[in-house]
Amino acid sequence: METQALGFVLERSPRRQDHLQHCIAKMDKASHPSALSLIDAWQTAQPHGGMVMGRDFPSRRFAALLPNILLLERLERARDFRVRVAGFGMLCFYGFDPSGRRLGEIYDGENLKVRCEALGDVLRRRRPSLALSRLSHDGEMVLQREIVSLPVLAFDARTPLVLVASFWNRCWLN
């Protein structure tokens, strides 16, 4: 029997499909309108202490983004991050709820190293990072998303976090 979440068959999620090739490349500029709007809101919050969870995000303006976000916290003494919050769209993408898990439980080897370095850079540089993720099959792109990673602060306005939002180019529900 297949596992379902609100009618979504988790075994068919994109990350569980071994026949799909996954590649991520850095981007210089976002193109998705919602990605541009999120980056603009982040920039607007910088003179006021930065984007703070609970104060600046989530908000009605970004309610539609909530299913496609991850909120990550760097783990001290470890070169890893923990997923504090994951939207339902991310559960569907991964095929399981990544909330509470370390990235080291989701990725391994070079994939883990590259992701942790990129997230660490977001926190160190205090600047957004943009990437383009593509899933393809036999050379044909089947799913593409823009990924925006932003340095933000927890509700205490001190704890650094990374807000990762995915902007899909097509509907991929199975």
Q: pLDDT digits over 56-89, tens only?
A: 998 898 999 999 999 999 998 778 999 999 998 8
| Single pTM value for the model | 0.87
Please report the pLDDT score of residue 174 as a whole number. Answer: 43
Residues 39, 27: contact at Cβ < 8 Å?
A: no
* Tens-digit pLDDT profile for residues 123-146: 999 999 999 988 888 888 878 899
pLDDT at 127: 96
pLDDT of residue 24: 86
Alpha helices in the chain (DSSP H): 33-45, 88-94, 103-106, 109-125
For residue 77, count CB atoms less than 10 angstroms from its CB and return exposed for 0-12, middle for 13-18, buried for 19 or more: exposed
Q: Is 57 within 8 Å of 51 (Cβ atoms)? A: yes
Task: For the chain, give every domain's residue range.
Answer: 24-66+110-168
* pLDDT per position as a tens digit, 21-31: 778 899 999 99
Q: What is the pLDDT of residue 5?
A: 54
